[in-house]
Amino acid sequence: MSLIAPDLNDADKAVDMPAPAASPARDAWRMFRRNGSAVAGLVILAAFLLMTLIGPKLYPVDPFDIVSAPLSPPGEEGALLGTDYLGRDITAGIVNGGKVSLAVGLIAAALTMTIGVTVGALAGFYGGMVDRVLMRLTEVFQVMPPLLLAMAIVTIFSPTLWSVAVSIGIVSWTSSARLTRAEFLRIKGLEYVKAARSIGARNRRLIWRVVLPNALPPLIVSATLTTGVAILFESGLSFLGLGDPNLMSWGRMMGGNRPYMLDAWWAATIPGVAIFLTVLSISLIGDGLNEAFNPRLRER
């Protein structure tokens, strides 16, 4: 066999033109942008975020103030979306109540992912005894009914925005721990992880800089969907009267106005629609991310 000079007339050229260095993240964003429903979700969510951030300044009505007769229909008595069973302005409730939903959703999802990813990453990476102990712990949390556990935590620590968010985080991290563990088990067997160890990477680097970034796509999708679930959870707790008593929230509006559903449909339905649209937009974004990260789904 003769020694062939490498390169030049290398038959083995894939991308010959100096292609722009497209990072996997940028590729995913390009895919995401082409997905109509995902972009619609992003627009809806952005609208709600904007309303929550600047709405209270543009519409400076206190959601706890009584502005007119109870249960006035939308458009009458000066209230755009009507009033609730105490005569409070529903528009003001919608504008101000989103803060609780979105804040609790984001804090709870962040906490869920932090606990879940840490537990799952350590269990999946180290295996053995570490894995057994952490998975037993996960099982303990998994068998407890989430709503009851959250209600218990909120009751013990008195309901505030933070205690509600933390309680939701504590009851919902188990599935992200399992997902992270499964991804770590899969990825740590791949050759590039062995290669990283062989070039002198320490465990910390292997976990956080090599395996975790490659496990991110499903985790980002899961974090997105977790935010939606946490918003629903918060609404559920507020609906049951376990929300922060000093803050107006969509779930609380639904719960309070529920008995008057037949006489004044708008009072409970309008905050319900707000919750629905927010959670739907987040799911659409989650699905869009999932497709953008998963090339095989794209071709369908």
Partner 1 sequence: MSPIADPPLLHVSDLKVHFPLPRPHPFAPQRTVHAVDGVSFSLPRRTTFGIVGESGSGKTTTALAVMQLITATSGSIELDGTDLTTLSGESLRRARRRFQMIFQDPYSSLNPRTRVGDIVREPLDLMEVGAPAERADRVTELFRRVGLRPEQLALFPHQFSGGQRQRVGIARALASRPDLIVCDEPVSALDVAIQAQTLNLLVELQRDFGLSYLFISHDLRVVQYLCDQIAVMYLGRIVELTDRNSLFAQPLHPYTWALLSAVPGASGGSRQRVRLQGDPPSPIMLPRGCRFAGRCPFAEERCRREEPQLRQVAGGRSVACHLVTDSGEAPHHALPADADSPV
Residues that bind partner 1 (CB under 8 A): 1-7, 10-15, 18-19, 21-24, 190-192, 194-202, 205, 210, 213-214
Nearer to partner 1, 269 or 294 (CB): 294
From the list 84, 48, 78, the residue with the least C-alpha distance to 64 is 84
The least distance separating partner 1 from the CB of residue 31, rounded to whole angstroms, comes to 14
The least distance separating partner 1 from the CB of residue 25, rounded to whole angstroms, comes to 8
First-to-last alpha carbon distance for the chain, in angstroms, is: 46
The least distance separating partner 1 from the CB of residue 117, rounded to whole angstroms, comes to 17
Nearer to partner 1, 32 or 173 (CB): 32
Count how many Cα atoms sit within 13 Å of the Cα of residue 154 in the half-sphere of its side chain: 27
Packing angle between helix 90-126 and helix 250-257, nearest 10 degrees?
A: 120
Rounded to the nearest 5 degrees, what angle is found at the Cα of 269, between the Cα atoms of 266 and 273?
130
Q: What is the dihedral of CA 115, 121, 124, 126, to 10 degrees?
A: -110
109 and 65 Cβ atoms separated by less than 8 Å: no
The least distance separating partner 1 from the CB of residue 205, rounded to whole angstroms, comes to 8
The least distance separating partner 1 from the CB of residue 27, rounded to whole angstroms, comes to 9
Q: Where are the alpha helices (DSSP H) in 59-160?
A: 90-126, 128-143, 146-156
Nearer to partner 1, 100 or 193 (CB): 193
Please give the structure tokens belonging to residue 29.
């964003």
Nearer to partner 1, 60 or 189 (CB): 189
Nearer to partner 1, 60 or 200 (CB): 200
Nearer to partner 1, 166 or 219 (CB): 219
CA distances from 141 to 150, 169, 206 (A): 11, 12, 28
The least distance separating partner 1 from the CB of residue 196, rounded to whole angstroms, comes to 7
Nearer to partner 1, 39 or 197 (CB): 197
List phi, psi (to 5°) of 144: -80, 135
The least distance separating partner 1 from the CB of residue 294, rounded to whole angstroms, comes to 14
The least distance separating partner 1 from the CB of residue 119, rounded to whole angstroms, comes to 21
Nearer to partner 1, 156 or 199 (CB): 199
- Whose tokens are 């068998």? That residue is 143
User: What amino acid occupies position 132?
Assistant: R
5, with CB counted inside 10 A (0-12, 13-18, 19+), is exposed
